[in-house]
């Protein structure tokens, strides 16, 4: 069944009964919107490649920033494109976090949920994500989970704003972030060299260089009151507790613009009644992305002889837009890519000091991720929008139900679980085999393939496990 915008409204499901389970079977719903889970699943595959490269590949490129890149440094094509294809991960991860937030919160709000309860749930979720960041994922550096957690907290007041206001806010962050950051630095008399000193993380030979770290700490003190703003706008040393440093690698302010845009997509989907009325038990995907959502519901099978249940879209009380979601995504994506070409050709503002050195393809694509420059955001969000449009079109035109065993769907619906364990498996494997960061680029792809094969059955199991415990502790993963 399709709605007026040409997008699928009905979800497809199948019954799953594990051997030895006593209770009634659980319906594994194939799609809240399967296109979103497919997109997230693709990102997890690319993320596995990047982190396998980090574990095994001695020639991995990681200087995606003005402060880490030395002009004239060689960028071998194989190494560069292995790194470049994975740049899609973080922007998509953060963007779809906003999308899932809106899909959940807009429906719950329109169903009469109290704002106070929604805000409390959102804040608790942010704290859980931040705890995973500090205690499990990256004790010495605040990375993408930090950006998502801080984004969730910011969305507590921001979600009350109108669509137009949110759009202006998101675009203002993306387009003006660089000017605001350097404006604040100039106001405090801070130079680029001073920022570079507090940004480079001294970790030679796997151990912290205490002398270099002490110099970075002194530079932080030299920044004065500006040091309060720096970690939220730009990567750098946040604090040093004894010999232990805490770096901010993903300052949340520039990433917040991407989350807001994702929220607007989710709101658009709800307004078009594209999304199912309730969040099915496992298609809520990662709780990083669905962090504001209610615990996924377990759907009981229909009585014998009864027709299969049809999930109708939630009433939203807002007019449907006349533009199909696929067209909106394609137009937005192509516009973003066009602006990327303009700003990269200009080779000035919007590139966060990581300028193009020549007209080669590598130099055109070599943009700043730390922090995300305007050109980085335009390129990656533009590519993501076009790809997501393709997934929506495929879902709309496919014959038959969505296949629940599809690896992209499985990884997309268990993204947080996948994210939390895949890196540890890769790192421990590389260390155990004596292959830590001393292999070539081919080892990155082989390592990624191995971890994907290993985690596929684990993610299938976790999806069923979580579906049967919608109100248990596992809902936080």
Find out whether 291 and 348 touch, Cβ atoms under 8 Å.
no
- CA dihedral 161→416→146→233, nearest 10 degrees, is -70
Three-state SS annotation for 23-66:
CCCEEEECCCCHHHHHHHHHHHHHHHHHHHHHHHECCCCCCCCC
Give the residue-averaged pLDDT of 252-274.
89
Q: Which of 33-37, 61-65, 433-437 has the lowest mean pLDDT?
A: 61-65
Question: What's residue 329's pLDDT?
Answer: 97
Q: Say if residue 236's pLDDT is above 80.
A: no
Q: How many CB atoms lie within 10 A of CB 110?
A: 14
Q: Say if residue 243's pLDDT is above 70.
A: no
Q: How far apart are CA 173 and CA 240, in angstroms?
A: 29
Give the residue-averaged pLDDT of 224-231.
68
Indicate the pLDDT class of residue 299, thresholds 50, 70 and 90: very low
- Identify which has the larger pLDDT, 290 or 198: 198
- Identify which has the larger pLDDT, 54 or 307: 54
Q: Say if residue 271's pLDDT is above 90.
A: no
Peptide bond into 371 cis (omega under 30): yes
Q: Say if residue 317's pLDDT is above 60.
A: no
Indicate the pLDDT class of residue 190, thresholds 50, 70 and 90: confident
Q: Say if residue 210's pLDDT is above 70.
A: no
Find out whether 7 and 324 touch, Cβ atoms under 8 Å.
yes
Give the residue-averaged pLDDT of 370-398.
96
Per DSSP, the residues of 298-364 read PPPPPPTTSPPP--PBPP-SSPPPSS-HHHHHHHHHHHHHHHHHHHHHHTBTBSTT----SSSHHHH
Q: Say if residue 477's pLDDT is above 80.
A: no
Say what angle helices 210-223 and 192-199 make with each other, to 10 degrees: 140
Find out whether 129 and 119 touch, Cβ atoms under 8 Å.
no
The residue among 100, 155, 103, 84 whose CA lies nearest residue 126 is 155
The fraction of the chain above a pLDDT of 70, given in percent, is: 75
Give the residue-averaged pLDDT of 348-377.
95
Indicate the pLDDT class of residue 220, thresholds 50, 70 and 90: low
The fraction of the chain above a pLDDT of 90, given in percent, is: 51
Q: Say if residue 3's pLDDT is above 80.
A: no
Q: Say if residue 213's pLDDT is above 80.
A: no
Q: Phi and psi (nearest 5°) for 404?
A: -70, -15
Give the residue-averaged pLDDT of 152-177.
95
Question: What's residue 466's pLDDT?
Answer: 87
Q: Which residues contact 152 (CB under 8 A, 6 or more apart)?
A: 97, 101, 122, 123, 125, 126, 129, 291, 292
Question: What's residue 117's pLDDT?
Answer: 87
Question: What's residue 10's pLDDT?
Answer: 32
Q: Exposed/middle/buried for 80, CB within 10 Å: 0-12, 13-18, 19+?
A: middle
Q: Residues 17-20: contacts with CB within 8 Å, 24+ apart? A: 18/464
Give the residue-averaged pLDDT of 411-417.
93
Q: How far apart are CA 351 and CA 367, in angstroms?
A: 7
Give the residue-averaged pLDDT of 376-398.
96
User: pLDDT tens digits, residue range 108-157?
Assistant: 877 788 888 889 888 988 999 999 998 888 777 788 999 999 999 999 99
**pTM for the full model?**
0.82
- Identify which has the larger pLDDT, 220 or 372: 372
Task: Compute the chain's Rg from CA coordinates.
Answer: 22
Indicate the pLDDT class of residue 469, thresholds 50, 70 and 90: confident
Q: Which of 243-247, 399-403, 427-431, 467-471 has the lowest mean pLDDT?
A: 243-247
Which residues, in sequence order, are bridge partners of residue 28? 14
Q: How far apart are CA 371 and CA 373, in angstroms?
A: 6
Q: How far apart are CA 199 and CA 111, in angstroms?
A: 46
The residue among 243, 247, 258 whose CA lies nearest residue 372 is 258
Q: Say if residue 392's pLDDT is above 60.
A: yes
- CA dihedral 115→117→121→122, nearest 10 degrees, is 10
User: pLDDT tens digits, residue range 322-344?
Assistant: 688 999 999 999 999 999 999 99
What stretch of H or E contains 7?
none
Vertex 445: Cα angle to 31 and 356 (nearest 5): 95
* Summary mean pLDDT of the chain: 80
Q: How far apart are CA 141 and CA 133, in angstroms?
A: 8
């Amino acid at each position: 069944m399709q709605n007026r915008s040409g997008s699928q409204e009905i979800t497809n499901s199948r019954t799953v009964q594990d051997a030895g389970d006593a209770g009634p079977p659980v319906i594994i719903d194939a799609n809240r919107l399967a296109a979103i889970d497919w997109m997230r699943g693709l990102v997890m595959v690319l993320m596995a490649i990047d982190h396998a490269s980090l574990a095994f590949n001695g020639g991995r490129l990681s200087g995606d920033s003005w402060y880490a890149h030395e002009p004239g440094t060689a960028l071998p094509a194989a190494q560069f494109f292995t790194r470049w294809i994975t740049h899609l991960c973080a922007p998509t991860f953060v963007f779809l976090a906003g999308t899932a937030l809106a899909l959940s919160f807009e429906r719950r709000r329109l169903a009469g949920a109290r704002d106070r309860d929604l805000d409390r749930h959102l804040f608790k979720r942010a704290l859980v994500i931040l705890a995973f960041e500090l205690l499990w994922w990256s004790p010495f550096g605040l990375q993408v989970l930090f950006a998502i957690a801080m984004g969730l907290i910011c969305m507590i007041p921001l979600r009350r704003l109108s669509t137009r206001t949110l759009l202006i806010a998101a675009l203002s962050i993306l387009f003006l972030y660089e000017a605001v950051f350097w404006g604040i630095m100039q106001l405090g008399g801070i130079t680029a060299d001073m920022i570079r000193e507090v940004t480079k993380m001294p970790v030679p030979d796997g151990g912290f260089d205490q002398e270099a770290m002490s110099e970075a700490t002194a530079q932080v003190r030299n920044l004065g009151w500006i040091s309060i703003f720096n970690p939220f706008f730009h990567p750098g040393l946040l604090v040093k507790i004894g010999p232990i440093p805490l770096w901010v690698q993903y300052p949340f302010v520039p990433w917040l613009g991407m989350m807001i845009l994702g929220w607007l997509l989710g709101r658009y989907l709800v307004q078009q009644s594209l999304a199912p009325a309730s969040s099915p038990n496992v298609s809520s995907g990662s709780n990083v992305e669905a962090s504001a959502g209610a615990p996924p519901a377990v759907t009981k099978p229909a009585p014998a002889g009864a027709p299969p249940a049809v999930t109708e879209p939630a009433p939203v009380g807002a007019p449907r837009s006349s533009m199909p979601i696929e067209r909106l995504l394609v137009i937005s994506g192509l516009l973003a890519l066009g602006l990327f070409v303009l700003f990269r050709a200009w080779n000035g503002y919007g590139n966060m000091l990581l300028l193009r050195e020549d007209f080669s393809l590598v130099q055109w694509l070599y943009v700043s991720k730390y922090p995300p420059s305007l050109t980085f955001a335009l390129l990656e969000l533009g590519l993501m929008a076009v790809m997501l449009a393709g997934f929506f079109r495929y879902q709309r035109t496919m014959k038959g139900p969505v296949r629940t065993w599809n690896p992209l769907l499985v990884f997309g619906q268990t993204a947080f679980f996948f994210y939390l364990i895949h890196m540890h498996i890769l790192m421990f494997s590389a260390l155990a085999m004596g292959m830590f960061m001393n292999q070539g680029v081919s080892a990155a792809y082989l390592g990624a393939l191995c971890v994907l094969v290993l985690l596929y059955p684990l993610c299938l199991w976790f999806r069923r496990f979580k579906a049967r415990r919608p109100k248990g502790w596992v809902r936080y993963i």
